[in-house]
Amino acid sequence: MGVTELRDLLNSASVPPEQKAQAEPPLVFLSKAQVLKKVPVTGPTLWAWVRQGRFPKPRDISPNKTVWIEAEVDDWIRSQPIRSYKP
């Protein structure tokens, strides 16, 4: 066991389980298809927004799989302005 793993183990043991659950929400990964269901744009538009810094960056979890973290996508959706229409 390396130093990092040992430190993580000791840190996790000192935090009560109920506090640990409140501190960090579980990570939920979304595929590109799942992101596109939440954000109704085309794939090329999604990637353009990522490159421009207008949308959260995905994570590479393997050489052939890219995912987004659901909480980041949901936060981005909530941060978008609400469109106002003329009465």
> SS3 for the chain, per residue?
CCHHHHHHHHHHHCCCHHHHHHHCCCCCEECHHHHHHHCCCCHHHHHHHHHHCCCCCCEEEECCEEEEEHHHHHHHHHHCCCCCCCC
- pLDDT for 87 equals 80
- pLDDT for 1 equals 57
**54-85 pLDDT tens trace:** 999 999 999 999 999 999 999 999 999 998 88
- pLDDT for 74 equals 97
- pLDDT for 85 equals 87
Share of the chain above pLDDT 90, in %: 64
